[in-house]
Amino acid sequence: MNILLIGSGGREHALARSLSASALCSKLLIAPGNPGTAQHGTNVVLDVTDHRAVIDFCRVMKVDFVVVGPEAPLVAGLVDDLTAAGIKAFGPSKAAAQLEGSKAFTKDLCAEFGIPTAAYRRFTDAESAKTYLRSYGVPIVVKADGLAAGKGVVVAASFEEAEEAIDMMIGGGLGAAGAEVVIEAFLEGEEASFFALCDGTHAIPFGTAQDHKRVFDGDKGPNTGGMGAYSPAAVLTPELQARAMREIIEPTLAGMRARGTPYTGILYAGLMLTKDGPQLIEYNARLGDPETQALLPRLRSDLVTALLAACDGALNGVSLQWSDEAALTVVMAAQGYPGAVEKGSQIRGIGEAERPDDVIVFHAGTKQDGDRILANGGRVLNVTALGPTISDAQAKAYEAVSRIDWPEGFCRRDIGWRAVEREQA
Ligand code: AMP
Ligand code: GLY
């Protein structure tokens, strides 16, 4: 079948690699893609915010299946419009993608269906929010309701910090995304990502990972889109995964069905592993980036078959095969990230880095310029290595990083530290 993949980051390079490896995939098109996805298919120019144009493109190019990588097209209802036009598309509907698009929506669903999450209140008025804050105490977490590109969450240690966040968000600092805020209790524990593949009724586990959101070693500095990841996350023991399925994912699916908006696609649960068990921090309606770059190289089952089964409501009884190996991904970013970065510096040595069989260099923010690869964004390359343990994958990934010649880039040097500490304990 002909497949159209939407997106342009490292996650999409990893998706393109796994989709194109499927016997079911005869042609892969990627809109807009990047120099990495071009190794696995054909990049195409297409305005994905123009749903009519995407539908017309699918008809002309005889696209049988569309896979959506990032959240924005999901929240904008691309899957609804494709489905209505008779084109099979993977990902949640606009209504179901509210699990990522609106924190207030998700918190209300949790409250209604008894899903463990931090206690919360919703506010559209700064004064009421502050009065509540004073009565509650600190630490406390202030969140913008809508999508805010990673800037919508403030974990406040003091009243001043929390009040500043409320004023910034309700005052319009994040645009419409902050018009409503959710104020919630601070949860203590270790964070981990749990992925489930959902067909509207059934969910099956789709692996675990741990991300590293802060820009500097030791989890210091500002939040980023993610500086590295590894999979599996041993902290999510089989028992905790079973609890997450039973207490969080399955009631969410049942709740979404009961509301008439069944959830189909990847449900990415950001979990806090507290002393009382896993609690939901947030949902994403898609695969994580960079988690996917550590997750998909471990998938042994056919990705296209699995995604089609989810679209067809046919996941009951399906189980996926995963490699026993661990994978670890180091994000190489342009100096200055997550602030302003300069584009256009040349990257050399990707081929040398990829020479061992178990190393893959995924492109995230790069640009092809003749024979040269240039940096073209904040997060630029994702270096993934596989190995028998996380420690081994980590050593191999950093060895590969050392072969990449890009003075204008940097990376964290401690990706996987929690898992390495655990393995060496
Ligand atoms: P989110 O965008 O909801 O994932 O939040 C970003 C980050 O803020 C999370 O990865 C956590 O590190 C932190 N965070 C969010 N909510 C809470 C909470 N209730 N308690 C403690 N930390 C939180
Ligand atoms: N790595 C975090 C995310 O994809 O949201």
Nearest alpha-carbon partner for 155 in 222, 217, 201: 222
Residue 247 Cα, ligand 2 centroid: separation in angstroms?
22
pLDDT value at residue 208: 98
284 lines ligand 2 (CB under 6 A): yes
Residue bearing tokens 């998938």? 299
Residue 153 Cα, ligand 1 centroid: separation in angstroms?
7
Looking from the CA of residue 270, the nearest atom of ligand 1 is 4
pLDDT value at residue 148: 85
Confidence class for position 61, pLDDT limits 50, 70, 90: very high
Q: Is the pLDDT of residue 292 over 90?
A: yes
Neighbour-count burial of 114, counting CB atoms closer than 10 A to its CB (0-12 exposed, 13-18 middle, 19+ buried)? exposed
Quote the CA–CA distance of 115 and 310 in Å, as a whole number.
Answer: 23
pLDDT value at residue 258: 96
pLDDT value at residue 267: 98
Residue 159 Cα, ligand 1 centroid: separation in angstroms?
18
Q: Is the pLDDT of residue 211 over 80?
A: yes
pLDDT value at residue 252: 98
Which ligand has its closest atom nearest to the C-alpha of 212? 2
Looking from the CA of residue 184, the nearest atom of ligand 1 is 19
226 lines ligand 2 (CB under 6 A): yes
Residue 19: how many other CB atoms lie within 10 Å? 25
Residue 184 has phi, psi (to 5 degrees) of: -135, 160
pLDDT value at residue 83: 98
Neighbour-count burial of 220, counting CB atoms closer than 10 A to its CB (0-12 exposed, 13-18 middle, 19+ buried)? exposed
302 lines ligand 1 (CB under 6 A): no
Q: In whole numbers, what is the pLDDT of the chain averaged over residues?
A: 96
Confidence class for position 147, pLDDT limits 50, 70, 90: confident
pLDDT value at residue 350: 98
Confidence class for position 151, pLDDT limits 50, 70, 90: confident
Residue 374 Cα, ligand 2 centroid: separation in angstroms?
24
Which domains can be identified in the chain, with CATH numbers? 2-91 (3.40.50.20), 119-185 (3.30.1490.20), 190-311 (3.30.470.20), 326-424 (3.90.600.10)
Residue type present at position 4: L
Mutate-to-test residue for ligand 1 from 105, 107, 153, 183, highest number of ligand atoms within 8 A of CB: 153
Q: What angle do CA 168, 152, 5 make, to 5 degrees?
A: 140
Quote the CA–CA distance of 277 and 247 in Å, as a whole number.
Answer: 10
262 lines ligand 2 (CB under 6 A): no
Question: If you compute the radius of gyration of the chain from its CA atoms, what whole number of angstroms results?
Answer: 21
What average pLDDT does the segment 367-387 reach?
Answer: 97
Residue 184 Cα, ligand 1 centroid: separation in angstroms?
10
Which structure tokens are listed for 74?
């999901």
291 lines ligand 2 (CB under 6 A): yes
Mutate-to-test residue for ligand 1 from 141, 193, 418, highest number of ligand atoms within 8 A of CB: 141
Residue 148 Cα, ligand 2 centroid: separation in angstroms?
13
Q: Is the pLDDT of residue 76 over 90?
A: yes
Q: Is the pLDDT of residue 202 over 80?
A: yes
Give residue-wise pLDDT tens across range 23-47. 999 999 999 999 999 999 999 999 9
Quote the CA–CA distance of 106 and 95 in Å, as a whole number.
Answer: 12
pLDDT value at residue 219: 95
DSSP 39: G
Q: What is the pTM of this model?
A: 0.96
Nearest alpha-carbon partner for 195 in 87, 88, 306, 112: 306
Percentage of the chain lying above the pLDDT 90 cut: 97
270 lines ligand 1 (CB under 6 A): yes
Give residue-wise pLDDT tens across range 224-249. 999 999 999 999 999 999 999 999 99
Q: Is the pLDDT of residue 372 over 90?
A: yes
Looking from the CA of residue 211, the nearest atom of ligand 2 is 1
Mutate-to-test residue for ligand 2 from 267, 268, 292, highest number of ligand atoms within 8 A of CB: 268
Give residue-wise pLDDT tens across range 323-336. 999 999 999 999 99
Quote the CA–CA distance of 299 and 206 in Å, as a whole number.
Answer: 9
Residue 83: how many other CB atoms lie within 10 Å? 17
Q: Is the pLDDT of residue 373 over 90?
A: yes
What average pLDDT does the segment 112-127 reach?
Answer: 95
Residue type present at position 239: E
What average pLDDT does the segment 382-386 reach?
Answer: 98
Mutate-to-test residue for ligand 2 from 147, 291, 382, highest number of ligand atoms within 8 A of CB: 291
Q: Is the pLDDT of residue 150 over 80?
A: no
Q: Is the pLDDT of residue 397 over 90?
A: yes
What average pLDDT does the segment 194-211 reach?
Answer: 98
* CA-CA-CA-CA torsion sign (156, 290, 81, 249): negative
* CA-CA-CA-CA torsion sign (283, 416, 306, 247): negative
DSSP 186: P
Quote the CA–CA distance of 294 and 384 in Å, as a whole number.
Answer: 6
Residue 207 Cα, ligand 2 centroid: separation in angstroms?
14
